[in-house]
């Protein structure tokens, strides 16, 4: 089943002499269970494409279907619902709420979705266990290492059982050991059939994916299947 269906998507900012064509007719499909890395230098359109895939922005032209839903035509409220229910985000900066326990941070998307407290707590604890942090559920972010904070962020991304896990430079703020911990979690998620799209500028991180898409000047320069490099 196709999870991402991007059809001739463009994104234009500004007008007249200030016009910027960030994306120039990007088309791609991602099937359920794929592990895709997207790379590109500054100005390639990588961040713009991530924002569209994550329903944080909409195309100027073209269509984008996420898990069968044409999100190109949704209003702001509908986009917010899609982000909450169908996408699990993992950001470089963790984006955890300070002075709030790990389990409460993981519960947050479920609270927005109206899930009852007892069920929220149960599912959050399961998600923390998946990333090896069940014993840190009561710790606040300032009591956790950077790698542990990112694992909490991954648990938060998984707790809604999203159609897509979208990770934007998830290892950018981590040391080599913590980077390996996070990548092993992604390896396990891929093995379990999760759909992962990873935005990165690091070739060794991209090498863990089974498919590599490179962007250049707002277009797909290459889209190849690759032998995954595991450690």
Domain edges within the chain: 2-225
**Residue 142: enclosing H or E segment and its boundaries?**
none
pLDDT, tens digit only, all 231 positions of the chain: 899 999 999 999 998 888 999 999 999 999 999 999 999 998 999 999 999 999 999 999 999 999 999 998 888 999 999 999 999 999 999 999 999 999 999 999 999 999 999 999 999 999 999 999 999 999 999 999 999 999 999 999 999 999 999 999 999 999 999 999 999 999 999 999 999 999 999 999 999 999 999 999 999 999 999 988 776
Cα 179 to the center of its chain, rounded Å: 16
- The C-alpha atoms of residue 209 and residue 224 are separated, in whole angstroms, by 11
Q: Indicate the fold that domain 2-225 takes in CATH.
A: Rossmann fold (3.40.50)
Edge-to-edge order in the sheet of strand 211-216: 87-91, 164-168, 196-199, 35-39, 211-216, 219-225
pTM to 2 decimal places: 0.94
Q: Going by C-beta distance under 8 Å and a sequence separation of 6 or more, which residues neighbour residue 159? A: 88, 106, 107, 109, 110, 123, 124, 127
């Amino acid at each position: 089943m196709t999870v991402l269906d991007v059809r001739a998507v463009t994104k234009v900012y500004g007008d007249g002499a200030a016009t910027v064509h960030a994306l120039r007719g990007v088309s791609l499909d991602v099937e359920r269970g794929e592990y895709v890395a997207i790379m590109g230098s500054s100005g390639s359109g990588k961040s713009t494409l991530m924002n569209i895939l994550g329903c944080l922005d909409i195309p100027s032209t073209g269509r984008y279907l996420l898990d069968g839903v044409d999100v190109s035509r949704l209003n702001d409220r509908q986009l917010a619902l899609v982000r909450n229910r169908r996408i699990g985000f993992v950001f470089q900066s963790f984006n955890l709420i300070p002075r709030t326990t790990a389990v409460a941070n993981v519960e947050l998307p479920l609270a927005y979705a109206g899930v009852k407290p007892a069920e929220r707590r149960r599912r959050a604890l399961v998600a923390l266990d998946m990333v090896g942090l069940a014993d840190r559920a009561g710790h606040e972010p300032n009591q956790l290492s950077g790698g542990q904070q990112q694992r909490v962020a991954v648990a938060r991304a998984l707790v809604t059982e999203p159609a897509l896990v979208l990770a934007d430079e998830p290892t950018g703020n981590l040391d080599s050991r913590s980077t390996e911990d996070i990548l092993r979690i992604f390896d396990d998620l891929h093995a379990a059939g999760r759909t992962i799209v990873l935005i990165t500028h690091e070739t060794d991180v991209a090498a863990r994916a089974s498919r590599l898409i490179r962007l250049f000047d707002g277009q797909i320069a290459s889209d190849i299947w690759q032998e995954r490099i595991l450690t």
